[in-house]
Amino acid sequence: MEGKRAHFGRQIAREGGKPLTDALIETDRAIDGVRNAVDVLRVTGGREIPMGITKASVDRRAFTIVEPIGVVAAISAFNHPLNLIVHQIVPAIAVGCPVIIKPAMATPLCCVDLVALVHEAGLPPGWCQTFLPETNELAEQLATDPRIAFLSFIGSSRVGWHLRSKLPPGTRCALEHGGAAPAIIDRSADLDRIVEPLTKGGYYHAGQVCVSTQRIYVHADLERDFLERFAARVAALKVGDPELPETEIGPLINPREGRAGLRVDRRGGCARRPRDRRRAA
């Protein structure tokens, strides 16, 4: 992955429109995620459970053993097409679980490349597979197959809860559905320090991030000053080709995502109201 850093960065930019500067940072985070899994391999294990505290447990020993849970099905999202894939398949590999990964169909190439590298590194092909179904119905069949032991899902709450309701008894799952991400600016805030990170937080990847700044509440005493500074900084953002190093905002993933707005709460704050960020499975 380190040898393909530039390739992954440009592929992220070309696939999903994330500016190249941010795409390279995502690539570095993904590489670090692999290192984290390697570090866990060195220290993970079972633990001894204290005994001898009751008459029944005197002269007895108890301990746990960590075992792979089984086959993992992973469904990912478009906005971090490399880092999210690493988060979903590398931990499964590290604990000894076969994993089938379905990337977002808008951004599948980084996933295909990463899985190819996993095979090149020596993992048998059957233990990590990319699944590119023609329909969402096929993806649902994968997620709800009784042979799946664990479902890792990143996407809309509507789809995630629907899949969870159809899981066979005993199948475990982890669902990531995004967030609300408010920021509160009180009267003591230093506007010179916070405008830049709030702008980055709100407009990173054109706002298509579940932890982006989605609401800003401002104390009435700072409202006008903050709005002027924030609006000026947003207006200065460089929108353009995501492969250019100076670009700060690239395109949205599709036209449907272009529903956005800004409202001012006259009770003493302003709030950015972003488009519907539901991510298709």
Q: Which residues are catalytic?
A: 176, 210
Cα–Cα distance for residue pair 152/73, rounded to 1 Å: 6
> What b-and-e string marks burial along 2-37, b requiring 16 or more CB atoms within 10 Å of the CB?
eeeeeebbbbbbbbbbbbbebbbebbeebbebbeeb
**Are 24 and 86 a contacting pair, CB within 8 Å?**
no
Angstrom CA distances, 76 to 49, 153, 196, 219, 277, stand at 37, 6, 30, 38, 14
* Inter-residue contact 275 to 258 (CB < 8 Å): yes
